[in-house]
Structure 1
Amino acid sequence: MKCDKQNMLLYAVTDRAWVGKQTLYEQVESALKGGVTCVQLREKELDDEAFLKEAVEIHALCQRYGVPFFVNDNVDIAIRCHAEGVHVGQEDMAAAQVRARVGEGMMIGVSVHSVEEAREAVKHGADCLGVGAAFATHTKTDVDVLPHETLKAICDAVDIPVVAIGGIHKENILQLKGTGVDGVALVSAIFAADDIETECKELKALSEQII
């Protein structure tokens, strides 16, 4: 399945660290109302049964809004909930192995940190790339910040959509202008917001200025 770069503009990656006033489902719906163009479900703690139930529910929600739904890391869950995509990191299953599992009908996103990794991911069947960390981030403390020159070099080296991720928020998003990215993937900038819908509307307007 080809990845439409327009769907990568404002890419929401869930994190239940900020579940409280709203359930994760409600948070995702608020983000969709605010205009996010893609949703990735990331769960590190749930068992497979609970993860699958949640994935099915949130996938159905995304379908109502016409937004592609990705599952982070877990290829089995992505297959079982009929997600549009699955996203894997460098330490996870290689893109070629993922493609062998999911067939041609599912998009594969891969996290990369260099031109070499980007080209390798494309060669093995990646449909889109997540590149970072664009800025210092509290979500992943073991990730180095990538120079924006490297981000631009990766965008120049591949012909599939590239999304910047890591530490991006309203105050620094415009610094990504000129790098060639097709969008931004956000975690806390969306899900830690008091008013997720309003925040997403503002983030989307800013995202449109950088591409």
Structure 2
Amino acid sequence: MSRFEGFSEGARRVLDAADRLAREYHGTTWQSLHLLHALWSDESRAAELMERAGLTQSALHAELPLAETANDRSRPSHTADSPVEHDDLLLSQESVLGAARRFAVGRDEIGTEFLLAGILAVDDDISARLARLGMDADAFHAEFTVPDTEPSEPIDVQINLRPPDTAATEAIDTSRVLDAAANRAREGLRVVEDFVRFVLDDADLSERLKTLRHRLQVELESFGGADLMFARDTQHDVGTQIQTVTESRRESPRSVLLANTRRVEEALRTIGEFGKRIAPTAAAAIEQLRYDFYTIERAVYVIWRSRERLRNAHLYLLATDSLCPRGLGPVVKAALAGGVDIVQLREKTLSDRRLIEQARRLREWTHAADALLIINDRPDIAALVNADGVHLGQDDMPVREARRIVGGEKLVGVSTHHLDQARQAVLDGADYLGVGPTFPSATKTFSEFAGLEYIRAVAEEVSLPWFAIGGISQENVAQVYDAGGRRIAVSNAICGADDPEAAARLLRSAIVGG
């Protein structure tokens, strides 16, 4: 006979959960401590009774933490210095299960409330601790030891076949919905993760998607986990015969991505809605998981779009009139002729009127050279002169606020100085990153240098387009290339050169061809 024979589905689920908790925290089979926490987490009938007695999650974890070992607790059959052997644990399990069976005599099945009654009857230590939290064990036992005095009905020998109970039918229908949606969500997440991993080569987002898949699996346990498949009926699922024209065709990797991000979102919504009937807390967690996926999804699409838009952009000029001895106009025009792909107007002291005039001239020159124009710090000016985007520092306005001014199609770049800032900028929806400072700069003073180590770290983890910045010149550009940099942003190396066009040409050749 199975040790769990006669126990309800919910009780078996709790016992399995207790086993997982025991392995996670102590690497052994479950004790009554693990079973108590499993009962609470499952939102079972037993959890309702504990809540009704005034127990709270914070009080339970404070009084009976899962990290506590058997040796930390005082038991009648063990001393504090005597380890609890495996056979003793099994004996303790059988004592709890045996007590639960005794309380459930005459019942159709042994539910979670009887497991709780068994713990309180067998484990004096837990019973005493729960009493301190307001739970009266004697009163609880009395609820289950009162004999059932209801008169029994005579057995009807006439057998009448009738349709299954409505509640049971609804439970099966809900399980079928959850099983199908869970499969779609898991499969879709895997496809998106593979796209990010193999098409974008993005280590950070791949890790985030993997973590999200694992979080989904944990929450699905609250809805029945693998047991959901027992309600599956693929042969009679009418949806398997419905297929649209677009469903059988994928024109590009991006179309694969689009189809599967939509699949994940829709499946998570279904799980969240139907899951509310079974485990509202887990359904709320699924909703948060869906929001987190939205953020990752945006980052993936921004990376894809930015890589296309900046595919051939390798040399970025930071232009400031006062740092160009030959004048801003001649230097920028020569640099564009030498192969500069992006020009950023970087003026900190000009009046707005003068800044707009300067930006409009650069807009004409960059447009004629088929290059991009970025305005530093000022999304309002970028919008006024129809620049291609704006660049923000760590102390400037957030990406989301700049987007409200320049719109969704303009580029928004962000300066970063360590890996956490780079990761956050990707999640914030930045189109490209400035990565540095790499070397001491002739145009800007830095208290610290991220250096080539930061270049290497970003090259390994971030697939969003990024430009190494800070003191890069003809003398050290090869070091940037060797560290993984394929795009650079410079100022003095071109603005201060005797021949800005030649300087630009040499720098671009070094970073593109190595």
Instruction: Give me the TM-score of the superposition, normalised by structure 1.
Output: 0.93
**Aligned residue for 1:9?**
314
The answer (yes or no) to whether the contact 2:378–2:390 under 8 Å persists in 1 is yes
How big is the shift at 1:180? Answer: 2.7
Q: Deviations over 1:133-170 (max 9, x none)?
A: 11111322134221322222123322210100000000
Higher strand share: 1
Which residue is 1:191 aligned to?
495
Please point out which of 323, 333, 358 is paired with 1:18.
323
In 2, distance between residues paired with 1:138 and 1:200? 17
Q: Which residue of 2 aligns with 1:154?
A: 458
How many residue pairs were aligned? 209
Q: Matched residue of 1:6: which SS?
A: coil
Which residue pairs with 1:45 in the alignment? Answer: 349
Read off the aligned partner of 2:314 and give its amino acid letter: L
Render the CA deviation track for 1:38-80: whole Å, top value 9, x for unaligned: 1111001110011001101111110001001100111111110
1:174-185 to 2 correspondence within 5 Å? 174-185=478-489
Q: 1 CA distance for matches of 2:312 and 2:347? A: 22
Tell me which amino acid in the other structure corresponds to 2:322: A
Aligned-pair CA distance for 1:7: 4.2
Query: Gaps (5+ residues) in structure 1?
Result: none
Indicate the residue corresponding to 2:375 in structure 1: 71
Q: Which is higher, the Rg of structure 1 or of structure 2?
A: 2
Cα deviation code 1:74-102 (max 9, x no counterpart): 11111101111110000111112212222
Please, which moves more after superposition, 141-150 or 95-104?
A: 141-150
Q: Verify: 1:106 aligned to 2:410, yes or no.
A: yes
After superposition, the C-alpha distances for 1:164-204 in whole angstroms (9 at most, x for unaligned) are 00000001000012433231100000000111111111111
Paired amino acid for 2:433: L
Does the CA contact (< 8 Å) of 1:133 and 1:143 recur in 2? Answer: no
**Which residue, 429, 432, 437 being the options, matches 1:133?**
437
Using CA pairs under 8 Å that are at least 6 residues apart, name the structure with larger relative contact order, 1 or 2: 1
Q: Structure 1: which 4+ aligned runs deviate by more than 6 Å?
A: none
Q: Which has the higher helix share?
A: 2
Aligned to 1:83: 387
- The equivalent of 1:142 in structure 2 is 446
Alignment check: 8 A CA contact 1:174 1:209 kept: no
Q: What residue identity is the alignment partner of 1:175?
A: Q
> What's the TM-score once normalised by structure 2's chain length?
0.39
* SS, match of residue 449 in structure 2: coil
- CA distance change for structure 1 residues 7 and 143 in 2, over 3 Å: closer, same or farther? farther
2:390 aligns to what SS in structure 1?
strand
2:331 aligned partner:
27
Instruction: Please state how far the C-alpha of 1:23 moved relative to its aligned partner.
Output: 2.6
- Identity rate, percent: 36
Distance 1:19 1:180, change over 3 A: closer
